Amino acid sequence: MDEVLSIAIQKTGRLSEKSLDLIRDAGIRFLSDSRVLKERALNYPVEFFFVRDDDIPMYVANGVADIGFVGKNEVEERRQDLEVIRDLSFGACRLSIAVPNDFEYKSLKSLEGKRIATSYPNILSDYLDKNRVKAELVYVAGSVEITVQAGIADAICDLVSTGTTLRMNGLVEAEAIYYSSAVIVSRKGFLEEKSEKAKILNGLLERLDALSAARGKKYVIFNLPSDKVDMAAKIVGALKSPTVTPLVDKSWVSVQSVVAEDDFWRVFENLRKIGAEGILVMNIEKMTE
């Protein structure tokens, strides 16, 4: 039978749609609507395994799935022997300690002897130990933010992205203890194996890398007086020198380059200053460095 790479993805939740979007952008088609437990892709040797995010590290460590798309926080917390092989561009959040508005928080020491509710006891206890603070951890699987009002904790340690949930529950962020984003994990050394599955994975990563290289980049084309090419090259700061094409009017050239989106307006204004005209900006879908 042909080998198939099995990919664990969160069934429903914050990471599931974005993980599937990425796979779709990589040209892999599947009938995701049903979200059955297992599903084979239509045009690529991969199958998806839709599960709870908490279980993904365990499934990958056990070999039930070859790789997983999961929050780095879960990987860190579950203590399985895994390797993070790619950081993805979504799911950014931080694990933070938060206290009620009226709590006089000066430093981590203020938590000495207090009860802290969390779904991340391993990460939190490591952090407290490292800082020589002794507190009582109260494990809750969800709705951590209500534990203070419920009277079972003095502080919490939970994931935060915008901070709205904390504010709505009368809590303030005291300390961020771990920064996370979605990642791809595999068992250790899997990428370097000589297996058919590792080959499939390397092919998939090449596609994902091409997408990530293009992210946040724009393709810029403009006309420029020929004697300004060196200046333009400095302004766009291209990876390699920009592509320069002659125009019919010999005193002008057309220049093409890739520019970081964040940097675009600085580049635009400086190009205008040296006489660039007809500046055309385009999105890049995929690219290799």
Residues near ligand PRT (CB under 6 A) are 10, 13-15, 52-54, 71, 73-74, 91, 93, 158-165, 180
Q: Which is nearer to Zn ion, 138 or 201 (CB)?
A: 138
- Closest approach, Cβ 146 to Zn ion, in A, equals 17
Other Cβ atoms within 10 Å of 178 Cβ, number: 19
- Closest approach, Cβ 68 to Zn ion, in A, equals 13
| Cβ atoms of residues 288 and 240 within 8 Å | no
The dihedral of CA 182, 188, 191, 195: what is its sign? negative
Q: Which two tokens stand for residue 182?
A: 């979605």
Residue of closest CB approach to ligand PRT: 71
- Which residue do the tokens 């920009």 mark? 242
Q: How far out from the chain centre does Cα 2 lie?
A: 31
Q: Which is nearer to ligand PRT, 44 or 120 (CB)?
A: 120
- Closest approach, Cβ 56 to ligand PRT, in A, equals 8
Contact partner at residue 76 from ligand PRT, Zn ion, none, CB < 5 to 8 Å by partner kind = none
Of 96, 94, 97, the residue nearest 155 (C-alpha): 97
Q: If binding is defined by CB under 5 A, does position 54 make contact with Zn ion?
A: yes
The letter for the amino acid at 233 is: A
Tell me whether residue 262 is exposed, middle or buried, using C-beta atoms within 10 angstroms of its C-beta: 0 to 12, 13 to 18, 19 or more.
exposed
Q: Which is nearer to ligand PRT, 175 or 276 (CB)?
A: 175
Q: Which of 39, 53, 76, 158 binds Zn ion (CB under 5 A)?
A: 53
* Dihedral angle computed from the Cα positions of residues 227, 231, 234 and 238, in that order, rounded to the nearest 10 degrees: -40
Q: Which is nearer to ligand PRT, 100 or 203 (CB)?
A: 100
Q: Which is nearer to ligand PRT, 70 or 235 (CB)?
A: 70
Contact partner at residue 79 from ligand PRT, Zn ion, none, CB < 5 to 8 Å by partner kind = none
Contact partner at residue 43 from ligand PRT, Zn ion, none, CB < 5 to 8 Å by partner kind = none
Residues 6+ apart with CB under 8 A from 278: 221, 222, 223
Residue of closest CB approach to Zn ion: 54
Distance of alpha carbon 108 from alpha carbon 247, whole angstroms: 65
The residues of the shown chain that bind Zn ion, judged by CB under 5 A, are 53-54
